[in-house]
């Protein structure tokens, strides 16, 4: 009995995949975990830890390990699993998996380290193999069980749409009917590529399924963390400085504590926290705080004056951190027929996710445990830093992941989770809902860094690029350096470096990270060269992409669907850009016009073609490209966050405007290049195409370059009038 039970509970295979049959309802559960003891402990703690659960009434519950912030993983990952399991989609429902990275993590972030992190457009890429393997193993268990039930050799069985079938005898049994008869095989095979389903039989991969999260989203019943209400719950707010990192000195503590409903004040290094019975009481108290703020490293910083200093840094003889050094850039520039040197700039931008940051946290009375309800993009610590913050073991922290009202990189930071924990600790065991106001969210944001980029290119007499050098000056390492590589362009001499500055402004990944500013600079430089030599910019790129067939195919496709080169309205022009982001190659073409009186740029059409490898849900890929391009247009034409003497100058949508419906293009068309390569990311592929495509269209239309993001009407008028 013991032996049988232990086999049913826990089996290991060569690949480190363990398998468990639960007690009630018979739950085949697959668990990837290297450490058998740790897995066993996790299984005991989370009785439903698994990739899939079959219920007696025939429902198939698939667990999604990714956060859902609108990118559609809640549907696409289960679709991959269901494909190999051969499930009946009408019986499938999807739930978030527990936040336990040993079981649900992917090692596509760092080798041999499983991580749950929904960022960098890596979810489909990171989980494609895992979901296929787990789905195929689930199918294997079901077929094995049917073989035992029917006393038939397994090789005579197959599956179709949620049922095991026996071709020999013409009988079939649905997965639900098999639940009481499930038996674990002695050994669970690891499936190889040739053993997976033949793509010609696919029912879900490459075939649109309606997104599983949408019905609740149109009924208003989707639960975001901000919607959580717990018994005895209190409300928390923080007042943070307008200067990042400044420390507060509260001058009217007794007055605040005397206010109706205010229970506690909590000091943070950079903020004063208030806990109150109701949200309106907490917000009223926040307005009455009288705080003196200290100086901070950014106190003298002015975001519009720093470019002069950055220019000097770019001129300095000392190189920074070298990222690319191919061939001999120095000789290429020396021997150039024509040398181009151009500076590009970009101001800070803010995430502006529609759900302001918030978290609901409950700390145990003894301070030794915590439970959290949060919309997080997770992180290298799937417990979001709380164990370290409270000094308690990781297993004492439970994260209840909720839907995210947007993330765009901001929710992969845990500052707001720890703030909520800091408040809840002071009033344990009552739960606290921490809410950031929009003003908090804007002014204590963590922005995409401001940079200056100096590009130098060398060409021969025919206008062929022989050398390309890129120096980015800014704060934040990979935040400013991502996207600086142009491996796909056939240029013999390449050099790229990052020169560090630090201003004390909070920074974070922002959709496509450094790609948007860096590709803007690179792609505009190419058009400036093409314009000088009177070449078609698309032709110039065709030559540069000669050794990148996948990239070239997107260029040809985008040119075709945009009718590149055809004569259009004289008041309009088209611009083109090519790039790689998250392993996906994309070409974008936009068509714009400019109002020469107001300086306002209007984008009329945007076409794109992408090779993202195997596409799981084509319509969702299109939705991601549409959304990424619209966010790109918003950031390029409107968004600017400025700092004067360290003070963040914007506070809400009145002074930090984002794109509204009146300014959307007439049409966004997305073409997907068919591919058999593994899936790559698309969530961030649209956004970085926009700045360069618009600037290149502007150059074509007016003969003048736009070199400083955003292209606000004032800046555009300045350029037109010089």
Partner 1 sequence: MASYSLTINNKTYNVEIKGETTLLWVLREHLGLTGTKYGCGIALCGSCTVHLDGKPVRSCTIPLRALKKDQKITTIEGLSQNGDHKIQKAWIEAQAPQCGYCQSGQIMQAAALLAKNPNPTREEIKTYMNGNLCRCGTYLRIVKAIEIAAGKTSANT
CA distance 77 to 133: 12
d(CA 619, CA 210): 9
Tell me: does residue 219 bind partner 1 (CB under 8 A): yes
Tokens of 301: 């910083």
Convert 549-568 into a string of H (helix), E (strand) and C (coil).
HHHHHHHHHHHHHCCCCCCC
Residue nearer to partner 1 on the CB measure, 553 or 637: 637
Tokens of 369: 């445990």
Residues in the chain: 722
Q: Which of 5, 15, 34, 214 binds partner 1 (CB under 8 A)?
A: 214
> Is 653 near partner 1 (CB under 8 A)?
yes
Q: Contact between 424 and partner 1 (CB under 8 A)? A: no
Question: What are the residues facing 574 on neighbouring strands?
Answer: 591
462: contact with partner 1 by CB under 8 A = no
Q: How many CB atoms lie within 10 A of CB 677?
A: 11
Nearest-approach distance from CB 5 to partner 1, in angstroms: 44
Shortest distance in whole angstroms from residue 67 CB to partner 1? 10
Q: Counting contacts by CB under 8 A, is residue 156 touching partner 1? A: no
Nearest to partner 1 of 166, 227 (CB atom): 227
Which one of residues 406, 474, 504, 646 is an interface residue with partner 1 (CB under 8 A)?
406
**Which is nearer to partner 1, 149 or 207 (by Cβ)?**
207
- For residue 323, list its beta bridge partners: none
227 is an interface residue for partner 1 by CB under 8 A: yes
Residue 403 near partner 1 by CB under 8 A: yes
CA-nearest of 317, 286, 420, 303 to 360 is: 420
Beta-carbon neighbour count of residue 182 at 10 Å? Answer: 20
Distances (CA, A) of 445 to 259, 310, 384: 29, 23, 18
Burial (CB < 10 A; 0-12, 13-18, 19+), residue 277, is: middle
Q: What dihedral do alpha carbons 43, 47, 49, 51 form, nearest 10°? A: 120
Which residue stretch of 64-72, 79-87, 139-147, 198-206 sits at the interface with partner 1 (rule: CB under 8 A)?
64-72
Determine the Cα–Cα distance for residues 296 and 645; give it in Å rounded to an integer: 10
Q: Which is nearer to partner 1, 276 or 306 (CB)?
A: 276
Least distance to partner 1, CB of residue 261, Å: 10
> Dihedral sign, CA of 439, 441, 444, 445?
negative
215 binds partner 1 (CB under 8 A): yes
By CB under 8 A, name the one of 95, 169, 253, 280 that touches partner 1. 280
**Least distance in angstroms from the C-beta of 217 to partner 1:** 3
Dihedral pair phi/psi, residue 167, rounded to 5°: -65, -35
Nearest approach, Cβ of residue 435 and partner 1 (Å)? 8
Q: Which stretch binds partner 1 (CB under 8 A): 44-52, 107-115, 272-280, 641-649?
A: 272-280
> Taking CB under 8 A as the rule, does residue 619 contact partner 1?
yes
Q: Contacting partner 1 (CB under 8 A), which of 356, 474, 599, 681?
A: 356
Are 89 and 80 spatial neighbours (Cβ–Cβ below 8 Å)? no
| Torsion angle, alpha carbons of 321, 327, 330, 336, to 10 | -140
Binding mask 193-212 for partner 1 (x = CB under 8 A): -----------------xx-
- Please say which residue, 41 or 619, places its beta carbon nearer to partner 1: 619
62 sits near partner 1 (criterion: CB under 8 A): no
Residues in contact with partner 1 by CB under 8 A are 69-72, 210-211, 213-224, 226-227, 229, 235, 278-280, 352-356, 403-408, 435, 437-439, 619-620, 623, 626-631, 634, 652-654, 658-662, 664-665, 667-668
């Amino acid at each position: 009995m013991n032996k049988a039970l232990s086999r049913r509970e826990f089996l290991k295979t060569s690949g480190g995949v363990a398998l468990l049959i639960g007690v009630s309802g018979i739950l085949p559960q697959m668990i990837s975990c290297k450490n058998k003891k740790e897995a066993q402990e996790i299984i005991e703690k989370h009785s439903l830890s698994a990739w899939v659960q079959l219920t007696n009434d025939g429902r198939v519950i698939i667990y999604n390990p990714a956060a859902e912030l609108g990118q559609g993983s809640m549907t696409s990952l289960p679709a991959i699993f269901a494909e190999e399991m051969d499930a009946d989609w009408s019986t499938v429902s999807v739930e978030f998996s527990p936040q336990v990275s040993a079981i649900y993590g992917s090692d596509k972030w760092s080798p041999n380290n499983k991580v749950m992190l929904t960022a960098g457009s890596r979810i489909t890429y990171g989980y494609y193999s895992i979901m296929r393997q787990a789905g195929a193993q689930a199918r294997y268990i079901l077929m094995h069980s049917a073989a035992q039930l029917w006393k038939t050799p397994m090789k005579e069985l197959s599956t179709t749409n949620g049922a095991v079938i026996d071709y020999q005898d013409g009988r079939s049994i649905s997965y639900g009917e098999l639940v009481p008869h499930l038996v674990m095989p002695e050994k669970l095979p690891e499936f190889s590529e040739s053993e997976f389903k033949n793509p010609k039989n696919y029912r879900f991969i490459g075939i649109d399924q309606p997104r599983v999260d949408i019905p609740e989203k149109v009924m208003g019943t989707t639960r975001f963390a901000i919607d959580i209400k717990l018994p005895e719950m209190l409300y928390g707010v923080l007042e943070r400085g307008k200067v990042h990192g400044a420390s507060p000195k509260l001058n009217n503590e007794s007055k605040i504590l005397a206010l109706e409903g205010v229970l506690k004040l909590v000091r943070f290094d950079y903020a004063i926290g208030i806990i109150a019975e109701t949200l309106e009481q907490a917000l009223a108290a926040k307005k009455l705080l009288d705080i003196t703020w200290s100086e901070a490293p950014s106190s003298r910083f002015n975001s519009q004056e720093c470019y002069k200093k950055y220019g000097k840094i770019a001129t300095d003889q000392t190189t920074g951190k070298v990222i690319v050094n191919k061939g001999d850039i120095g000789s290429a520039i020396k021997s150039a027929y024509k040398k181009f040197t151009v500076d590009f700039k970009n101001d800070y931008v803010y995430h502006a996710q529609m759900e302001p940051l918030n978290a609901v946290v409950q700390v145990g009375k003894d301070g030794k445990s915590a439970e959290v309800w949060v919309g997080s993009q997770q992180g290298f610590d799937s417990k979001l830093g709380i164990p370290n913050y409270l000094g308690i073991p990781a297993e004492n922290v439970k994260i209840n992941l909720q839907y995210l009202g947007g993330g765009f990189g901001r929710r992969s930071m845990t500052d707001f989770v720890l703030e909520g924990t800091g408040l809840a600790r002071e009033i344990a065991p009552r739960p606290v809902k921490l809410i950031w106001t929009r003003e908090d969210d804007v002014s204590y944001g963590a922005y995409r860094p401001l940079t200056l980029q100096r590009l130098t290119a060398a060409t021969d007499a025919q206008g062929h690029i022989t050398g390309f050098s890129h120096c980015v000056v800014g704060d934040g390492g990979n935040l400013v350096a991502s996207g600086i590589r142009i491996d796909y362009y056939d240029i013999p001499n390449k050099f790229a470096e990052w020169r560090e500055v630090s201003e004390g402004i909070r920074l974070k990944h922002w959709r496509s990270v450094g790609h948007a500013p860096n590709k803007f600079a690179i792609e505009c430089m190419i058009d400036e060269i093409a314009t000088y030599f009177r070449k078609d910019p698309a032709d110039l790129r065709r030559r540069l992409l000669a050794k990148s067939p996948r990239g070239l195919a997107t260029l040809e496709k985008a040119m075709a669907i945009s009718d590149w080169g055809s004569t259009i309205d004289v008041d309009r022009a088209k611009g083109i850009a090519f790039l790689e982001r998250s392993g996906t190659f994309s070409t974008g073409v936009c068509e714009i016009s400019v109002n020469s009186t107001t300086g306002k740029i209007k984008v009329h059409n945007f076409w794109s073609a992408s090779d993202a490898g195997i596409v799981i849900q084509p319509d969702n890929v299109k939705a991601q490209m549409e959304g990424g391009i619209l966010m790109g247009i918003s950031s390029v034409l409107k968004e600017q966050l400025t700092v004067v003497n360290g003070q963040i100058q914007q506070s809400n949508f009145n002074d930090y405007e984002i794109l509204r419906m009146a300014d959307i293009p007439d049409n966004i068309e997305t073409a997907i290049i068919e591919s058999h390569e593994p899936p790559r990311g698309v969530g961030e592929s649209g956004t970085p195409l926009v700045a360069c495509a618009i600037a290149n269209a502007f150059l074509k239309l007016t003969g003048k370059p736009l070199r400083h993001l955003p292209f606000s009407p004032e800046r555009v008028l300045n350029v037109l009038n010089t």
